[in-house]
Amino acid sequence: MKRSLFILLSVLPCFAGTVSAQSIAKNYKADNNNNPISASVFCADPTSLEYNGRLYVYGSNDHQQFIKNNKKNGNGYGNIKSLVVFSTDDLVNWTFHGTIDVAKICSSWTGNPWYKGFMNSWAPSVTWRTTEDGTEEFFLYFANTSHGVGVLKASSPIGPWTSPLKESMINRDTPGVLPCTWIFDPGVVIDENGVGWISFGGGDPNEQGTDIQPNNARFAKLKPSMTALDGQPAKIPAPYHFEASELNIMDGKFVYTYCSNWADRDDADWNAYKNEKGLKFGKPDKCTMCYMVSDDPMNPDSWEYKGVCGKHPGMPSPNNHSRLQKFQGEYYYFYHWAPLMKSMLDEKAIDSSCDGYRSICVNKATVDEETPKINSVAQNLTGVTAIKNLNPYDLQQAETTANSGGVMYDDYKNIEKNTKINTLGNDASQNMYVQMKEGAWTMVRNVDFGEEGAQSFKFTAQGTGKLEIRLDKKTAEPAATIRFSSTTMEEHETNIDPAPFKGVHNVYFVFTAADKVQFDSWQFSTEQTTGIKNVVHTQSSDSKFFDLSGRRINNNASKGIVIEQSTDVNGKKQSRKVIR
């Protein structure tokens, strides 16, 4: 539905009543940084896949724990019962697809014995395949606490997801698993023959293990269904193994990554191991990401320790978890850190008791596939460089951001009120919108308007507000200002001056006034709109104005959102919100 009613467009200078720079919501991700990938969602334990030119990243939903804790205290992980989903095609602008409500999907799981029923969803691993009949299948594995591994299935990378089983896929009753201390943190891969493989396990040394060989890393073949083990798992003799397994295949070899433990490193133990294996590496630091390589993965003796691929990113991150992903021909290293939480703590934006709420980050990796060798990745908040510019002439979702202010996880909503999937996403991002409060903003990077420039702009929104489009800085003078009001989610379209909208810019959508505003999507055009006028509201001679509390105000006394009561040309009384 297209609407232009109550839209007022202005190009420089600013309107009176524009929110001051001090009133614009603060961002806790620095303006020039591309890490973390989300400025509004705490998330961790990344996994990923490439599909149809986009990279999809999944993670543990730390923000669910944050909300359950009333946005305070430490992250105990016990309330994490969903997973988050993001995607990108340029590595700097990320679309938040919402959450996968694993608790709801797995609500029918049998809980007898107790460890077979659903408990939590941590540390996912994802893969996909095309079957012989052309069907595309996506499999998402997760840690059901430390007592098992569950699996979900879908026909697209953003769902809807279902549970193909009535209980956890791997648990204490799975032959060959015990005495693994923690049965969790899956890593999955499909080889060139279409065979699925999975790694899992972790924790302190079991009764057969030592600090240097905890004896908890496992590797197993999957049946063609991808939902059951094909035989008993084998051991991976990973030195100082603790958690966070993931799998890759490079040049026909399996590459297993994992997080090392917190045990003290005894020189005698390491030297004995190093001499036995003929290694030249020094012992890994605590909580570092290490990797091993094998061309015969079910044979424990075939695994070769290759060193450290990523250090612990530093406190206040309580642990470490990474994913090595090849995308558009280059390798990228995803991991979690806690810079968003730290920035919010430093600015006293969250309770001082908050601890352990993590964020997913990404940096470029240097990989030699033939060896295979992974150089230790330099982790920083600068992040990666965009691999392409964003096209403003394609329809873009409001949930696509490089940065934001005044927007947090619970401000992303699902506009399908009666969805049977879940209440926040788990389907295409087109089902979602962003609730924008006064002063809230979103930003996208490297928007390429071209030499001709944009002539018109449309966006889908609901509510009453004033949207200022600012270029390159959130405090810049607006290149366009649009006032709008609609009671339902509608498309608003208007012409703009093309002069500012040429070349490549970072674009800020700043809502300097907002009452019940829900922002869904936006799109620029190189052509002016036709058949739709930009309606500039002129008040009726009998207009009366009231503030939002219903108190009468002088016609010239107030700026911002007010209620106007008037009589139309047909003599009918009208009442509506307007921006003055």
Q: Which of the residues 45, 246, 438, 564 is marked catalytic?
A: 45
Q: How many whole angstroms separate alpha carbon 322 and alpha carbon 216?
A: 18
| Residues 69 and 130: beta-carbon distance below 8 Å | no
Sequence-distant (6+) residues with CB within 8 A of 184 are 122, 123, 143, 144, 145, 146, 147, 148, 149, 200, 201, 202, 243
| CA nearest neighbour of 246 among 234, 255, 235, 237 | 255
Q: Within a 10 A sphere around the Cβ of 299, how many other Cβ atoms?
A: 11
Alpha carbon of residue 246 to chain centroid: 19
Q: How many whole angstroms separate alpha carbon 38 and alpha carbon 95?
A: 9
| Largest distance between two CA atoms of the chain | 95
| Residues 359 and 339: beta-carbon distance below 8 Å | yes
Q: What is the token pair recorded at 450?
A: 């071209």
Q: How many whole angstroms separate alpha carbon 18 and alpha carbon 478?
A: 10
Q: How far is CA 552 from CA 537, 539, 548, 558, 578, in A?
A: 20, 16, 10, 11, 15
3-state secondary structure of 104: helix
Q: For 245-280, give one letter per residue: b (16+ CB within 10 A) or e.
A: bbbbbbeebbbbbbbbbebebeeebbeebbeeeebe
DSSP one-letter code for 212: S
Q: Which of the residues 62, 167, 185, 243 is marked catalytic?
A: 243
Q: How many whole angstroms separate alpha carbon 508 and alpha carbon 407?
A: 13
- Give yes or no: 50 in active site: no
Q: How many whole angstroms separate alpha carbon 196 and alpha carbon 174?
A: 18
| Residues 109 and 163: beta-carbon distance below 8 Å | yes
- Give yes or no: 491 in active site: no
Q: Phi and psi of 273, rounded to 5°?
A: -65, -45
- For every residue of 472-512, DSSP letters joined together read SSTTSPPSEEEEEEEEEEEEEEEE--STTS-SEEEEEEEEE
Pairing of strands 412-414, 396-397: unpaired
| Cis previous bond, 179, omega within 30 | yes
3-state secondary structure of 173: coil
Q: Within a 10 A sphere around the Cβ of 109, how many other Cβ atoms?
A: 18
Any idea what the Cα angle at residue 433 is, between residues 427 and 438, rounded to 5°? 160
DSSP one-letter code for 272: H
Residues annotated as catalytic are: 45, 243
